[in-house]
Chains A and B, each alone.
Chain A
Amino acid sequence: GESVGLHLPTLSVQEGDNSIINCAYSNSASDYFIWYKQESGKGPQFIIDIRSNMDKRQGQRVTVLLNKTVKHLSLQIAATQPGDSAVYFCAENIGYALNFGKGTSLLVTP
């Protein structure tokens, strides 16, 4: 079946570096994508979203890029901080439901 997947299960970066988390999707009809951050013991927290009529969207220290040609999303975190350590999920909106990828664990080392 169609799904959202993540390329890497874990990512380790040094504090101050930029982080890039990737996500592939297979449903060409998907038109809305969201990135969530989940810290241990908490529910997913909204980071940023993007609609299919956009290629790029920026937030505070985060940027999401959408490449519809190859069905690929990425989340870029600038100047990664220890507080960014968490699991990051890409999700696509299918009707009134979210289809989540497996998640990437981001570890920020001093």
Chain B
Amino acid sequence: KAGVTQTPRYLIKTRGQQVTLSCSPISGHRSVSWYQQTPGQGLQFLFEYFSETQRNKGNFPGRFSGRQFSNSRSEMNVSTLELGDSALYLCASSHGGTNQETQYFGPGTRLLVL
């Protein structure tokens, strides 16, 4: 079974631009979560989607948004990029039926904001 895939793998943007990242979960998984990883803050939860609905949200500004499609694929968008948004953005998927399920991570999208 194929793992979680994320595209693109690397991205360079300038301040003020917006960016869209994509995630395809493991087949059969209906929950997709997004995390931001930086050297200073570590891994931080952004949001989680299940059946096209945001079920949980972390403590990030409204510039960070996401959505999930009927095939469980998910996208996250960051508008008005800031230098501090440079990070590795990780997507994870799980079956989503309970809150005690293993989340499996993709390789991440490395975003650099100049």
Partner pick for A97 among B4, B58, B104, B106, CB 8 A cutoff: B58
Q: Assess the A44–B102 pair: CB atoms within 8 A.
A: no
Per-residue interface assignment for chain B, residues 30 to 65, with 1 indicating a CB less than 8 Å from any chain A CB and 0 otherwise: 010101000000111100101000011010000000
Count of A residues near B, CB < 8 Å? 24
* Interface of chain B, main secondary structure: strand
Which chain B residues lie closer than 8 Å to A95 at the CB level?
56, 99
Q: Which of A31, A34, A96, A97 contacts B102 (CB 8 A)?
A: A34
Q: Give B residues with C-beta under 8 Å from A.
A: 4, 31, 33, 35, 42-45, 48, 50, 55-56, 58, 90, 92, 96, 99-100, 102-108
Known: A98-B92, A100-B43. 7 other contacts (CB 8 A): A34-B102, A49-B102, A91-B43, A95-B99, A96-B56, A97-B45, A98-B35
